[in-house]
Amino acid sequence: MKEVYLYTRFERFWHWMQAVLVILLIASGFEIHGTWRIWGFQAAHNIHYWSAWGLVVLFVFAAFWHFTTGEWRQYVPTTTLLKEVFSYYTSGIFRGLPHPFKKERDRKLNPLQRLAYFILKLVLFPLQFITGFLYMYYNEWPRLNIHWTLKPVALLHTLGGFAFLAFLILHVYLTTTGPTVFSHLKAMITGWEKIE
């Protein structure tokens, strides 16, 4: 085993800010829908509004960083070892088998992570941004010559929110599957991870 600096300061900042903003959006979204009462409707609306704008700004900065540093290559999906990694997480991990993918500085993400993050960045984020802004500026629709009903936009936005919640739960669970329960978490705090 050797300790490798896998995650830069910006990557860790981006990861944790994104996590905070997504959690705030999910929590305030549930309150806006009346699922629970934590802040009150108006405060939840304000939290949702500003967290959404914060996420958009963070997304733009992260996209710029990924493209200028070349780190975007980490997210290009591949089928190499995809079946083996999927098999590992669905059965091999419970039988104590070794992980089929070996991390390196230039290959941080296994094929399943690459596919998941690719979908997250190119499908879920755009879906939430587009439906969220349509939802947010609903009163402007007639002026913009948009003649839809709000229901499908709201439904898509809510489904996207549940997809983010499912991703978040799975992501937190998978952080516990390293050599120790907290090794992946520690790496996302310090940047250093022990790898073979």
Taking only the tens place, the pLDDT of each residue in 3-20 is 999 999 999 999 999 999
**116/118 Cα distance (integer angstroms):** 5
Against a cut of 0.75, is the pTM above it? yes
Each domain of the chain, given as residue ranges in start order, spans: 2-195
Of the candidates 33, 66, 27, the one whose C-alpha atom is nearest the C-alpha of residue 47 is 27
Domain 2-195 falls in which CATH fold? Answer: Fumarate Reductase Cytochrome B subunit (1.20.950)
**61/76 Cα distance (integer angstroms):** 19
**Per-residue pLDDT tens digits for 134-158:** 999 999 999 999 988 999 999 999 9
Say which residues have a Cβ less than 8 Å from residue 108's Cβ, sequence separation at least 6: 6, 7, 74
pLDDT band of 187, cuts 50, 70, 90:
very high
CB 114 within 8 A of CB 74: yes
What angle, 0 to 180 degrees and rounded to 10, lies between the N-to-C axes of helices 150-174 and 125-136?
140
**30/36 Cα distance (integer angstroms):** 7
